[in-house]
Amino acid sequence: MKGISFKNIIITAVIGAVITGVVTVGVNLITEFIKTEPVSLIYSVDNVVPFSGNSGTIGIYRLQIMNNGKKMIEEMALNVELQNAKIEQSNVSENNSLDYNEKIENGYKLYVKNLNPSESIAVSLLASSSNALPARPDINLRGKGIVGVEKANRAESGLQEILFKLLGPITASYATLFVLYFAIRNNFLGLGHTIGIKQKEIFAYLCGMHGLSDDFDRFANLHGDISFWFGADRLTYFALNSCNQDKCNKVRGVLIDLLKYNPNFAPSSRAIIYYNIAKLSKYLGNDEEKNDNLENARKLDAKTIKVRMEIDKYFD
């Protein structure tokens, strides 16, 4: 064919191949992007870990929710229902100061006003049943213009995956302490407060619930167990020597909650706890509470309290 050189044919073929390749790759990339476009609202849920006792079964359900999109999610609403079981308590952990409301009524309901990109929230639900607990709860999650999707149904990577992996173990730790507290407080296992439960674990739990993370670690890492008497003395000593009013108030809260565990443990230990609450009340400037707790301590073990007051002179 006149006027068309072999060189031009080659160039045309190469250009055509390049264009075809670019278009093919582009289409594939766009298709893949559409397939993997992240759903903005995702959640994961763990199967319940049941804990059976004389009164039935209790267990913790752990849910984690995240906005893995690029836009803020408004009016996020979570509804959790359990068949033939009762949700007793809830605990919420979140990595930002989120504006949320929750209630236990016909299941569990959580409302979050706004959930920004990469923000997450974890929920632990303590449930009980006279029979076996369902393996998984029924979950309905949605936001304004969006429906939540379970994370197990899609691949996840990057920052979102890292945050989920970090949040999971933390939530699991608090969930374990959460179910432990409920079981002890309600004597759910029918075993009494001292059998199978280390007292340092009770102190660690209460410190964690009152925001005393350093004390949580100290009790959790102690070798062997401790008495309630020693634990109360130890907490009060470090609190008063910190000269920190907020810490003293938190320790006071720990000791008050400690008294709620079981009204039948040793009167001498209860007396020392009341005595330490009185010391903290004096530091915080609450004389009426100080006097009430000293009186409670004397009623339980007047001799020990008298010796204490003669030695440390704190109330002089």
Q: How far apart are the first and last CA of the chain?
A: 117
CA dihedral sign, ordered 71, 38, 169, 105: positive
Q: What is the distance between the alpha carbons of residues 265 and 24, in angstroms, rounded to a whole number? A: 76
- Give the model's pLDDT for residue 93: 75
Q: Note the pLDDT of residue 159.
A: 52
Residue indicated by tokens 């569990």: 108
Q: What is the spatial distance between Cα 297 and Cα 268, in angstroms, rounded to a whole number?
A: 8
Q: Buried b vs exposed e over 255-267: b needs ≥16 C-beta within 10 Å?
A: bbbbbebbeebee
Identify whether the C-beta of residue 271 lies closer than 8 Å to the C-beta of residue 301: yes
CA 54 from centre of chain = 27
Q: How many residues are present in the chain? A: 316
- Enumerate the CATH 2.60.40.1510 domain ranges in the chain, comma separated: 41-156
What pLDDT is attached to residue 60?
Answer: 78
Amino acid (1-letter code) at residue 196: G
Q: Which among 255, 234, 253 is positioned nearest to 297, based on CA atoms?
A: 255
Fold for domain 41-156?
Immunoglobulin-like (2.60.40)
Report the pLDDT value the prediction gives residue 210, as an integer from 0 to 100.
85
Q: The tokens of 165 are what?
A: 């992996």
* pLDDT score recorded for residue 209: 82
The model's pTM is: 0.43
Query: Three-state SS string across the chain, please?
Result: CCCCCHHHHHHHHHHHHHHHHHHHHHHHHHHHHHHHCCCCEEEEECCCEEEEECCEEEEEEEEEEEECCCCCEEEEEEEEECCCCEEEEEEEEECCCCCEEEEECCCEEEEEEEECCCCEEEEEEEEEECCCCCCCCEEEEEECCEECEEHHHCCCCHHHHHHHHHHHHHHHHHHHHHHHHHHHHCCCCCCCCCCCCCHHHHHHHHHHHCCCHHHHHHHHCCCCCCCHHHHHHHHHHHHHHHCCHHHHHHHHHHHHHHHHCCCCCCHHHHHHHHHHHHHHHHHCCCHHHHHHHHHHHHHHHHHHHHHHHHHHCCCC
> Which residues in the chain land under pLDDT 70?
1-39, 49-55, 94-96, 152-197, 261-264
Write down the pLDDT at residue 100: 87
